[in-house]
Chain A
Amino acid sequence: MFSVENLVLGYGTHSFVLDDISFVIEKESGTAIIGPNGCGKSTLLNALAGLLTPWDGEISFNRQPLSRLTTKQFAQQVALLPQTPQVPDDFTIYDLVSQGRFPYRNWLGFLSEQDHEIIHQAIAWVRLERLTYRLVSTLSGGERQRAYLAMALAQQPEVLLLDEPTTFLDICHQFEVMELIQRLNQEKGITVVMVMHNLNHALQYADDIIVLHNKKIFASGPPKETITPTLCENVFQIQARFIDDKLDGRKIFIPVGVVSEIN
């Protein structure tokens, strides 16, 4: 799906963020990007979304260089859910989700009967049909995240990029959103790439993880093998234990505390 080669990223001419990284994201996989604050997770995600021109190296999407795709073509295949999206105060869920059809609209911008059908299906799929005409600004955090997922779904993308989709949510809504993302991945076959902080979520939901540290990829691979006590110590400066849950074979991460003195 995505193939990244010798990518160098930064903002402007001075603030240098990621150096010479390469990786591949398989079709229909679920990848988590993890790392400490300020390691460039969001920057990498924005680069995959085509929002940032690389300093060097190349990102290819379906074997085509990103720079060669038109914004519209790309928008029909890749959706992004930013960390703090904005919405006008008087937008209903329906209005928000209908913006997902923008890449398919004709030049006058009116929606077809088929578009309306897709919008309603997307809203029903995230189980918000009872709130279709509620204002987005009055929704709870979990409902709002689901509304944005419906919008991404209406975009009918091949890839969904998410930037910390569970921040600000309580534990129930965190799982609700994660399960919804997992269903998008498994039932709709949408490739998912997401930035996350919660290592247990990464262990539970991701097929692959990419760990960023010191401007490089520190490690990558299946989460169970990749997330280890050594990694936690080196990357996050914390001591951690792991438990294998006998019931369903899951590996559970238990943070113990900060590594006392960083030498």
Chain B
Amino acid sequence: MTTSQPKQPENKHAPAVILRKRKVFRIAVIVSFAISTAIIFLLSCTLGAYKAPLGEVMRAIFEESESVSHAIIWNVRLARSAVAACVGVCLALSGAILQGVMRNPLASPNIIGVSSGAGLGAMMVLVVLPKYTFLLTPVAFLGGLAATLVIYSLAWKRGIDPLRMILAGIAVSSLLGAANNAILIFYSDRVQSALGFMVGSLAARTWLHFRIILPYALIGSTLALIASGRLTVLSLGDEMAATLGVNIERTRMFFIALAALLAAASVSVVGILGFVGLIVPHVVRLIVGSDFRYLFPASAFFGAGLVILCDTFARLVVQPVEIPVGIVLAALGSPFFLYLLRTKTLKHV
């Protein structure tokens, strides 16, 4: 991107031109991600068991009507894709934040225990106390945050060392996983109801779910964007960042809390969708670089587009049966990620 050297160092205008070019490129990438996501969003509304042309989708979005097609498009597809978009934003941002804070390319919402905590919470509700299924979302949300809090306090020792936090995260997650499996064994007759949650599914998600997750997606992205400069400075190492005026512990706590909230919000609504938070930030970093002011918005749009795309695929591929989006994401995402890993591009891993 920017490795080229100006050929004539005497030319005083060269630096400004290169800088402007890079900035234009990065903004162009963000805008094109945003436009692609919008197109994918509209497409996802036209495709399905009921074929709706684009014009009908537009009418359904912008005009009120009593027709069946309006009901299908507005209440089913639009709602579902809107939830998918928010989930994509939350998970991608959460992953990007954690990879930055932990300075570790393997960091993702799983590492801070959100997934395992939420998973155990969901399992308790769905399998052990099936009468209280309406409590699924809040319990999963609280479970995810509680697990993060436990890991954070276990890793605290005069400050948070990212590596210690990652190790504590792995240990606590395995413990929660064991509890999870124990429930699966003891209640093996009721497992079916929890399967959708464990692999992540967008089936039957409605405007109600959208209203739950939207505030997190909006407030989360705004906060992340405002604080993005601090995270960039943090990538220069603790000592350097501290002498540049960043309060290390406070910044770290802020970002971990933000990532946990974003991930918990999405996990509690659609279940455990592991892969988005791990690969989206990597792919985007290859394109726009490590400056979080660009990485955050680009990741958010890319994540939203990816989840909608995979969910549409999940609805269509083996009609009339639906496969959970989590399976599609992993099935399509892993080979793509491995391809990136093998080609020259992913050199910093």
Contacts and interface: CB of A to CB of B under 8 A. Distances in A.
A50 B247 CA distance: 11
Interface residues of B, number: 35
A229 interface: no
A133 B245 contact: no
A108 B228 CA distance: 9
B239 A133 contact: no
A76 B244 CA distance: 8
Contacts of B5: 130-131, 133-134
Interface string A122-142: 000000011111110010000
B239 A102 contact: no
Interface in B243-264: 243-247
Nearest to A96: B236
Interface stretch (A59-67, A79-87, A166-174, A192-200): A79-87
Contact of A133 (B18, B158, B242): B18
Contacts of B348: 88-90
Nearest to B247: A71
Interface string B1-39: 111111001000001001100000000000000000000
A74 B245 contact: yes
A76 B245 contact: yes
A51 interface: yes
A46 B290 CA distance: 27
Given A86-B237, A87-B236, A130 B226 contact: no
Contact of B289 (A50, A87, A90): A90
B130 interface: no
Contacts of B6: 130, 132-133
A78 B242 CA distance: 11
B111 to A, nearest CB: 20
A100 B158 CA distance: 27
Contacts of B243: 49-51, 74-75, 78-80, 161
B3 A133 contact: yes
Interface string A144-156: 0000000000010
Interface in B198-256: 226, 228-229, 232-233, 235-237, 239-240, 242-247
Contacts of A120: 15
B226 A108 contact: yes
Contacts of B244: 75, 99-100, 102-103, 155
B240 A80 contact: yes
Contacts of A51: 239, 242-243
A95 interface: yes
Contacts of B3: 92, 133-135, 138
Contacts of B285: 90
B344 interface: no
A208 B188 CA distance: 75
Contacts of B293: 109
B347 interface: yes
Contact of A102 (B4, B19, B229, B291): B229
Interface string B154-179: 00001000000000000000000000
B290 A91 contact: yes
Interface in A96-116: 96, 99-100, 102-103, 105, 107-109, 116
Interface of B: 1-6, 9, 15, 18-19, 103, 158, 226, 228-229, 232-233, 235-237, 239-240, 242-247, 285, 289-291, 293, 347-348
15 contacts: A50-B243, A51-B242, A71-B242, A74-B243, A75-B243, A82-B237, A88-B290, A88-B348, A99-B236, A99-B244, A100-B244, A108-B229, A130-B9, A133-B18, A134-B5
